[in-house]
Structure 1
């Protein structure tokens, strides 16, 4: 047994011991929890292990993944789930293309013969997922395409009259409505057009060599540190036959101050250009004679990461499925912070959800069997673009047509209990009403996402299921603190995103107030039980963009019921 195998075996043994201790749930006071109740102490114990430095930040394709997958599998076994992965095991192999920058990344803008060097990580944050060779762009013309949006249904096209083939496109983050009066994009709520993933895809489709997104904290909904840490880590994607056309040669972000210098050097006011981009009559244009150069070596490999799957088999309609999901990955070992800590432990994001999944599985398993089967699906590579969920949706372990719902969890708050519970984005799905009913049954309320401009609907794993038609929702904490109100909740959220999100500061410690995660997990437990026991199929609302995809499989659900 090699040292790695010894360490993983040790983690499994410790995990089984922990699970055995958790067989009798205890409350946060140490007393026995009510029968079938979610245990604060169990949640904390799971977090203490999963967010520890021993797991090295849980990055895919690292020793941290091996420990994470082994630990979760052991927990699922201990609470009585059946292995639901491939070949009778606990995992689903997710083959990913891994791309990492090796050595220094050099970048520069050149305007009117003057070259301005850019510091990667400070002025600019670069990455690539393109399959061909090292990156070596030399004096590629720069064009400004506003928000980089082509939306025919809204009569909006930032690329109208502009050929971007072989060029690098500078675009703004979010969409035109964020800083203006509500217009064609529905106000401050971020749309799919505002997301960085959309902007990269649209430019790649048009043959661009690269995209640079101008970072601003408020419209991006996260600080530069989040961008820097995310780009510094290796990048992943599922295996694509059309990877060369799907991906840009180089993509990245630039600080607003960097953009202001570039535009000024090109004889353009950044503020004026941004203002023009917010109007329908905007026309994209070259940034004078400005060019962009970037060069860095790239190490490419194909790795296999893993989703973890455990099944609680339904008693009456076992072929129908309710998915309960959350992602296990974080960013591994990154850039040291001011204290010298470089491990991005991902305690809130998203060890909290995994702890809740284990507790929900335990409580459901201890009670009457649900009518439908419940698949507990712990997903990889969410931080790389929802890749574990995307892979599952393309290669489901159980048919999507008879998957009633995907209930995803993200980022419970350690800052105290709230009167409400929320979901991410505006889902336009019956699950939002079901969540409200579950909250009311627990003496709480449901509040819609108070931060629609952050675009969270597109930033969690449920989105991959939604695109495949499965009614899906991501449940997250509310903002109305029992001790602090909405003002306190919003302040705590802002502190987290500024100081800990995707940073080494996202750590668990025993000062956490576990009342919030416990109450929130209890609501999700009630929601899962209700959907699993119901004969009804959750539905997308009439105005949802996913309704048509779901309706295409309606005959399969009707036939399955008829055959039973």
Structure 2
């Protein structure tokens, strides 16, 4: 037995040591509370530049303050203003199809959706010829050109969604069923504007689009947003929108063409555009355009060793606001899963990191605006960064965590070809869980989340979402719940909070994100793009800013 004075001396020496900080744990109750508030009727669906934004920004600022982080916005505040142009159809839409000497009135929202981001107060198109341009892709690096120098001036292009490989038996010039950026509707509109088309109509099909017509209708009847552009007239076609597949089939048939046969032809390099007989479209509607300022909301914890190096946690706060009432009369598109769950995670991560010892690198907690309007808040941040992009080590973006309880796995969106995916796998496995690659590469989620804006600027970035392998029911159950959500609730009023939610799985996901972010923020290594990534060369341009760091992790 040790003498009493030795025991006392040992106890006193322990008391003199700094206390070992316990790893913070995410609170399922806090996550539920954040979503309940953000997705409530009072927030009116959190559309940018609406009273719902005002309530959202106020809530986020207060919660960041309560979490214990410092303001990370402009001029020492919490806000980064994001100026945007808003364009909304005002009043009725006239759309008339002229085929074989007959006229057919089309219903906006049912047969097709029509919008415009062109800098005009009124769209007037009179009997513009329709021409089918296949998938509307020009990709010299893949040896692909759908246009074959066809002049599209004065014409409306009819274009397929997704890539040529989506429905082929074997992968071809593209990535099989894994959609590329060329398959995204945003690319198709941009390319058709570059080609001088008067209009662009994308044929909707549920499988290649990855959502039903209800989602297209909901989005198509909402305002459009864009950054202010001096060249807006050349950057956007005068007319843009989607059409139902059934309408497309009737157009092709009237021109003596078979829709499926023409689609098969479009899946080959030899495709050439074809006029849809004598079909012409007339359309007219008023457009209200105004400039608005929406806001990114940002918290920050300065690093103690390398404060000029940064790790970002992000999620978009916006949803689709008020729209057409559903069958229950509810007009609020609440955006509970998409993406109040992601914002709740960022708020909780801010609290957890604020309670822990400071990391070597700085941490930023960014609630981004206008993701649903084309990644506008993220794109503005990238163009006007509040921390240098060249020394931003990683962006961990968060989307659509599950309300259906714990899973054995966690997932990333798309196939990013970035070391962060392997880091996420390693951290998950170290905590007794698995990492699942995106099971729906054909949905193109890599190009549909805010991390993509950072990736295009070369910053290693990933979007993390819920896994599918549920503890209660396995992958089959998780897949069924996912499919039901996208079929019935995505971007619609029924994406609402429920007291029946089980947020324990969200809390487990947030714990993993905390561990991953802390590892990067405490470390000296720099996450990297893989050799076959299109973003590696962009990152390489700023290699000099990161010299002297530890060797890059393979």
Range class of TM-score, shorter chain: over 0.9
Say yes or no: does 1:536 pair with 2:525. yes
8 Å Cα contact 1:148/1:172 also seen in 2: yes
Pairing partner for 2:270 from 267, 281, 286: 281
Q: Provide TM-score, normalisation by structure 2.
A: 0.94
Shift of 1:519: 1.0
Matched residue, 2:139 = 151
8 Å Cα contact 1:85/1:310 also seen in 2: yes
Alignment: residue pair count? 528
CA shift in 2, pair 1:196/1:49, >3 Å: same
Pairing partner for 1:345 from 331, 334, 340: 334
Matched residue, 1:118 = 106
Matched residue, 1:319 = 308
- Counterpart mapping for 1:362-373 below 5 A: 362-373=351-362
CA distance in 1, matches of 2:289, 2:226: 11
- Counterpart mapping for 1:303-452 below 5 A: 303-452=292-441
Instruction: Specify the structure having the higher radius of gyration (Cα).
Output: 2
8 Å Cα contact 1:162/1:285 also seen in 2: no
CA distance in 2, matches of 1:545, 1:391: 21
Shift of 1:560: 9.1
Shift of 1:471: 0.3
Report SS of the residue matched to 2:390: coil
Pairing partner for 1:70 from 58, 63, 80: 58
Matched residue, 1:54 = 42
Report Cα offsets for 1:164-186 as digits up to 9, x if no partner. 12211000110111111211112
CA distance in 2, matches of 1:429, 1:270: 39
- Greater CA drift, 277-286 or 396-405: 277-286
Pairing partner for 1:524 from 513, 526, 529: 513
Matched residue, 2:124 = 136
CA shift in 2, pair 1:418/1:560, >3 Å: closer
CA distance in 1, matches of 2:446, 2:440: 10
Shift of 1:132: 2.1
Shift of 1:93: 0.5
Matched residue, 2:7 = none
8 Å Cα contact 2:120/2:287 also seen in 1: no
CA distance in 1, matches of 2:74, 2:137: 40
CA distance in 2, matches of 1:58, 1:186: 36
Say yes or no: does 1:168 pair with 2:161. no
CA distance in 2, matches of 1:121, 1:409: 31
- Greater CA drift, 210-219 or 108-117: 108-117
Pairing partner for 1:230 from 196, 211, 219: 219
Shift of 1:275: 1.6
8 Å Cα contact 2:118/2:232 also seen in 1: yes
Shift of 1:267: 2.0
Q: Which runs of 5+ in 1 are unaligned?
A: 1-33
Shift of 1:270: 1.2
Report Cα offsets for 1:97-156 as digits up to 9, x if no partner. 000101011112211221111100000011111112311111011100001011111111
Say yes or no: does 1:90 pair with 2:78. yes
CA distance in 2, matches of 1:399, 1:222: 36
CA distance in 2, matches of 1:529, 1:446: 18
Say yes or no: does 1:213 pair with 2:177. no
Report SS of the residue matched to 1:398: coil
Report SS of the residue matched to 1:199: helix
Matched residue, 1:186 = 175
Report Cα offsets for 1:417-473 as digits up to 9, x if no partner. 111101000000010011111111221011100000000000000000000010000
Matched residue, 2:243 = 254
Q: Which runs of 5+ in 2 are unaligned?
A: 1-21
Report Cα offsets for 1:194-225 as digits up to 9, x if no partner. 10001001100011111000000001000111
8 Å Cα contact 1:109/1:262 also seen in 2: no
Say yes or no: does 1:44 pair with 2:14. no
Shift of 1:483: 1.4
Report SS of the residue matched to 1:524: helix
8 Å Cα contact 1:141/1:291 also seen in 2: yes
- Greater CA drift, 326-335 or 241-250: 241-250
CA distance in 2, matches of 1:410, 1:485: 21
CA distance in 2, matches of 1:487, 1:534: 38
Report SS of the residue matched to 1:436: helix
CA distance in 2, matches of 1:559, 1:514: 42
Over the aligned positions, Cα root-mean-square deviation in angstroms equals 1.2
8 Å Cα contact 1:330/1:383 also seen in 2: yes
Shift of 1:559: 7.1
